[in-house]
Amino acid sequence: QVQLVESGGGLVQAGGSLRLSCAASAITLSTYNMGWYRQAPGKPRDRVATISTIGSTNYVDSVKGRFTISRDNANNRVYLQMNSLNVEDTAVYYCNAYNPYATYWGQGTQVTVYS
């Protein structure tokens, strides 16, 4: 059974940093484009950052220069380094794996930023 498991969320003061990790089982992440999404209460789930199978990255404007997505294919993991966090970054963060044949989601990890 395919599983994406996020970790690394938590409570952090504004200006602080967190590093999210997404570990995959039963799939080989190197064959998937990967993404991080987030969903704040009462809002839709929005894309935060993506990384292609060849390492091309893309970010939503609000996180450019603060967040970095990376992948470790050898360990079947994807990361999201989040710096200079602000209260607007508070949300549940989801890991996503997709290719033309399948899409998978993790269960999410809560990130709460307080001022």
Q: How far apart are CA 9 and CA 90, in angstroms?
A: 10
pLDDT of residue 50: 98
- φ, ψ at 65 (rounded to 5°): 85, -10
Q: Scan for tokens 């704040």, then name that residue.
A: 40
pLDDT of residue 90: 98
pLDDT digits (tens, 9 = 90+) for 79-89: 999 999 999 99
Distance of CA 52 to CAs 1, 8, 15, 19, 86, Å? 23, 22, 28, 19, 27
- As a whole number, mean pLDDT of residues 33-41 equals 97
Q: How far apart are CA 95 and CA 39, in angstroms?
A: 12
pLDDT digits (tens, 9 = 90+) for 45-97: 999 999 999 999 999 999 999 999 999 999 999 999 999 999 999 999 999 99
The answer to whether the CB of 90 falls within 8 A of the CB of 111 is yes
